[in-house]
Amino acid sequence: MTDQFDRAAQLEQEHRDRALAAHRNRPIEEPDEDTYGVRYCLDCSHIIPKQRVELVPTAVRCVPCQNKKERTHG
């Protein structure tokens, strides 16, 4: 059972590290009409397309990263 908790803690830390890295890699600029509300993928830091955000308002990953996450984590 301890191994499961250790693995869960490790995965949580990896997720946190990726999120922090993605946040640090965002361009620092004043929001304008074109960039205000832009979302960045938690995993790859690329911009999540506006169409995806409109279809899935809670999206935090681009489609390729979300597909990869679903394949590896069920």
pLDDT-based confidence at residue 25 (cuts at 50, 70, 90): low
For 46, residues 6+ apart whose C-beta sits below 8 A from its C-beta are 40, 62
Please give the pLDDT value at position 17. Answer: 79
Residue 31 has pLDDT above 50, yes or no: no
CA gap 38, 57 in Å, rounded: 12
Angle ∠(37,43,48) on CA atoms, nearest 5:
30
